[in-house]
Amino acid sequence: MKVMRCPLNGERNISEFTCLGEVSEPPAPDGASDEAWAAHLWNSNNTAGVVREWWCHVPTSYWFIAERNTVTDEILRTYAAAELFAKGNNE
What residues make contact with another protein under the rule CB under 8 A?
1, 8-10, 12-13, 15-16, 57-60, 62
- Conformation bin of residue 44: beta by default, left when phi > 0, alpha when psi is -120 to 50: beta
Minimum separation from the CB atom of position 9 to another protein (A):
6
Output 5 or 50, the one with its CB closest to another protein: 5
Minimum separation from the CB atom of position 41 to another protein (A):
28
d(CA 51, CA 26): 17
d(CA 45, CA 83): 23
CA distances from 30 to 4, 34, 41, 62 (A): 38, 11, 16, 31
Output 8 or 20, the one with its CB closest to another protein: 8
Output 9 or 45, the one with its CB closest to another protein: 9
Minimum separation from the CB atom of position 66 to another protein (A):
18
